[in-house]
Amino acid sequence: MEIIIQSDSQAGDAVAARMIAGLIRRKPDAVLGLATGSTPLGLYRELVRMHREEGLDFSRVTTFNLDEYIGLAPDHPQSYRRFMFENLFNHINSPVERIHIPDGMTDDVPAFCEAYEQAIRDAGGIDLQVLGIGTDGHVGFNEPSSSLASRTRIKTLTRQTLSDNARFFENPDEQPHHVITMGIGTIMESRQVVMLAFGANKAEAVSRTVEGPVCAMMPASVLQFHSKAHLILDDASAAGLAKADYYRWVYANKPDWQRH
C-alpha cells in the first residue's frame, strides 16, 4: 500500500482528484467505483471544479457505486442514489445510462446482486475504486467478519455502523438495518484503489488497516494484499501509525513521474 499523509482533508482530496483526473485523461472510457458518506464529499467537489474549470470530461466514464440502503426510495433524502446525484452527477456530464447504483427497492435482492456483478464484468471491471473506511474498519458496508472473498450481496448493519450513521436520520425508525453492498472480493478486483480517511476518529482503524494483521474483523486490512492501493490520510487519521514519518519521507522523495 502507498500511504499518502497530507496536512488536512482538502489537500488529501486534491491528491485523490488528480489521480482520478489522470486516469480519465489517459483512458476516457474509464470505469470508476464510487463511495458515499461524508468522506468523499470534498473529492466530489474537486472533481466538479475540474469539470467546470479544466474541462474534465466524464461523457464516456462508467460508474458503479458501492452500496445502497434497502427500503429507501431513490428520492429519500438519505438514499445514496440521491446523494450521488446531488453531490456529483448533477454537476458533471456523466450520462445517466453509464451510472450504476444498487437498487434498494428491488423485489429480488439475490438476483439484483448477481446482475450487478455481471454488469461490472460486462463493463470490463473497475479501473479505480474510491473507498472510505468505517471506525470499525468496514469498507463499503462489509462489516467486521465479512468474508474477504465476498461478492455483492445483502448485509445487516452492525450497532456501531447504525450509531455512526444515525446522525443522518431525523427519525430513527427510518434508518434501514440492511443494505446492498459490493463485496470485498469485488473491491479487490479493482485495478486501483484510493481510500480516503480523515479525522482522529479514523486513526485506530487506519493503524490497524495499515500496520496490523490482515483479518476479517478489520475488513479494510485486506488492502495490504492489493497490488495498487493508495491510502490518503490527514495528520489526524495518521496519528496512530508507528511508521508515519517513514511514509511521509517516502512520499516526499518519490520521483517526479510517480507524483500524484
Tell me whether residue 205 is in a domain. Answer: yes
Q: Is 136 a catalytic residue?
A: yes
Q: Is 68 a catalytic residue?
A: no
Residue 181's CATH number: 3.40.50.1360
Q: Is 100 a catalytic residue?
A: no
Tell me whether residue 139 is in a domain. Answer: yes
Tell me whether residue 124 is in a domain. Answer: yes
pLDDT at 160: 81
pLDDT at 201: 96
Is there a contact between 43 and 196 (Cβ–Cβ < 8 Å)? Answer: yes
Q: What does the alpha-carbon distance between residue 214 and residue 210 come to, in Å, rounded to a whole number?
A: 9
Q: What is the pLDDT of residues 166-201, one digit of tens each?
A: 888 888 778 899 999 999 999 999 999 999 999 999
102 CB-near residues (< 8 Å, 6+ apart): 65, 67, 68, 80, 112, 116, 152, 180, 181
User: Which residue range(s) make up the domain with 16?
Assistant: 2-253
Backbone angles phi, psi at 203, to 5 degrees: -60, -45
Tell me whether residue 259 is in a domain. Answer: no
Q: Is 114 a catalytic residue?
A: no
Catalytic residue among 143, 226, 230, 234, which? 143
Catalytic residue among 13, 68, 127, 136, which? 136
Tell me whether residue 258 is in a domain. Answer: no
Please tell me the total count of domains within the chain. Answer: 1
Tell me whether residue 260 is in a domain. Answer: no
Q: What is the pLDDT of residues 222-235, one digit of tens each?
A: 999 999 999 999 99
pLDDT at 81: 97
Catalytic residue among 13, 46, 51, 67, which? 67
